[in-house]
């Protein structure tokens, strides 16, 4: 039987990869033909950071030949350190492949299909190793007004626009100033609190990363319980400061029916310690400076 490396074992059992670092993730949505692939290619040409891009089919993206280094199955390796991976086997499988990489990307971008409901994907952005940076939705300046007037399409466009952190009016160069203004007003009327910008000068791609979501996600976030959920959630206060020994004793003393627990403690020297429990696995690691957060309670999920 082939041996399993510690890194692979942690990924399989749900322990956060990359020493607890969570990679920011951007969702790029919008209806069919809104220009997602165009903006994505523009971003890849402009970046000097190692990004990971997840798409429905890597063959659908016409990557600049000067950026392409090699193809390995359903993965494209780019010369600037970026990688494009297919989601044909599902988003969960694609994220698992990223977690298995020894070095994390700087940022992950998921290109949603044109008929995707972003709210169905949002829970994945807080899975182990990742955190939501922003949901960006494109609206085609040449078509969005007509689309919103279509009774069949409007519900889908509303589900795409309403949860967005930013809506970008794409193809602005193809319409007049008045038409562009009308498109922005039509989108803004769907959700009054969502910022709407246009890509008139074609440079919006370089501003999409580091957006900062309107949603409050952190390293200890866990899915909220539902009426059909067989699990229950408890909150255990953590002493502040505390020692590694005390934390180990606390975790070992948790009931056998605990399936997941996460929290951030403060060490005697002011350091931040990330506590994680998956089944009977207990782990305490130093929280990377890039993920520095205030101490929290221990959130425990029991069956």
Residue 202: pLDDT above 90? no
DSSP assignment letter at 220: T
Q: Is 144 exposed, middle or buried (0-12, 13-18, 19+ CB in 10 A)?
A: buried
Confidence of residue 142 (pLDDT cuts 50, 70, 90): very high
Give percent of the chain above pLDDT 90. Answer: 26
Residue 213: pLDDT above 80? no
Confidence of residue 282 (pLDDT cuts 50, 70, 90): confident
CA atoms of 12 and 59, how far apart (whole Å): 28
Q: Residue 186: what pLDDT?
A: 97
Q: Residue 264: what pLDDT?
A: 87
Residue 219: pLDDT above 50? no
Which H/E stretch holds residue 24?
Answer: strand 23-30
Phi, psi for 59 (deg, rounded to 5): -70, -15
Q: Residue 158: what pLDDT?
A: 96
Of 13-27, 41-55, 151-165, which gets the smallest average pLDDT?
A: 13-27
Residue 247: pLDDT above 50? yes
What would the pLDDT profile of 91-141 be if each residue is shown by its tens digit?
888 898 898 888 899 899 999 988 889 988 888 888 888 888 889 999 999
Query: For the chain, what percentages of helix, strand and coil (3-state, to nearest 5) are there?
Result: 30, 25, 45
Confidence of residue 168 (pLDDT cuts 50, 70, 90): very high
Look at strands 83-86 and 166-170 and give their pairing.
unpaired
- Average pLDDT over the chain reads 80
Q: Residue 289: what pLDDT?
A: 61
Peptide bond connecting 241 to the previous residue in cis, omega within 30 degrees of 0:
yes
Domains along the chain with CATH numbers: 6-207 (3.40.50.300), 232-302 (no CATH)
Note the pTM of the prediction, 2 decimals. 0.67
What would the pLDDT profile of 51-81 be if each residue is shown by its tens digit?
898 987 766 666 666 667 777 667 777 766 7
In the 3-class helix/strand/coil scheme, how is 38-101 assigned residue by residue?
HHHHHHHHHCCCCEEEEECCHHHCCCCCCCEEEEECCEEEECCCCEEEECCCCHHHHHHHHHCC
């Amino acid at each position: 039987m082939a041996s399993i490396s510690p890194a692979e074992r942690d990924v399989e059992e749900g322990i956060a990869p990359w020493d607890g670092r969570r990679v920011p993730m951007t969702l790029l949505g919008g209806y069919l033909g809104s220009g997602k692939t165009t903006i994505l290619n523009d971003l890849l040409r402009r970046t000097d950071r190692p990004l990971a891009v997840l798409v429905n089919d890597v063959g659908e993206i016409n990557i600049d030949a000067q950026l392409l280094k090699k193809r390995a199955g359903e993965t494209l390796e780019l010369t600037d350190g970026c990688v494009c991976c297919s989601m044909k086997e599902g988003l969960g499988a694609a994220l698992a492949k990223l977690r298995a990489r020894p070095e994390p990307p700087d940022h992950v971008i998921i290109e949603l299909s044109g008929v995707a409901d972003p709210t169905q994907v949002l829970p994945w952005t807080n899975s182990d190793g990742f955190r939501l940076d922003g949901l960006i939705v494109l609206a085609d300046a040449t078509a969005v007004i007509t689309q919103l007037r279509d009774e069949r399409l409007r519900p889908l466009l509303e589900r795409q626009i309403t949860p967005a952190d930013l809506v970008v009016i794409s193809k602005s160069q193809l319409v007049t100033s008045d038409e562009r203004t009308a498109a922005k007003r039509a989108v803004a009327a769907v959700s009054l609190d969502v910022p709407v910008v246009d890509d008139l000068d074609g440079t919006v791609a370089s501003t999409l990363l580091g957006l900062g979501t309107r949603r409050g996600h952190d390293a200890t976030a866990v899915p909220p319980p539902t009426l059909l959920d067989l699990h229950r959630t408890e909150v255990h206060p953590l002493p502040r400061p505390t020692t590694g020994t005390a934390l180990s004793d606390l975790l070992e003393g948790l009931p056998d029916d605990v399936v997941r627990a996460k929290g951030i403690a403060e060490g005697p020297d002011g350091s931040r310690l990330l506590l994680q429990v998956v089944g009977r696995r207990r782990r305490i690691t130093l929280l990377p400076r890039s993920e520095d957060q205030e101490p929290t309670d221990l959130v425990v999920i029991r069956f």
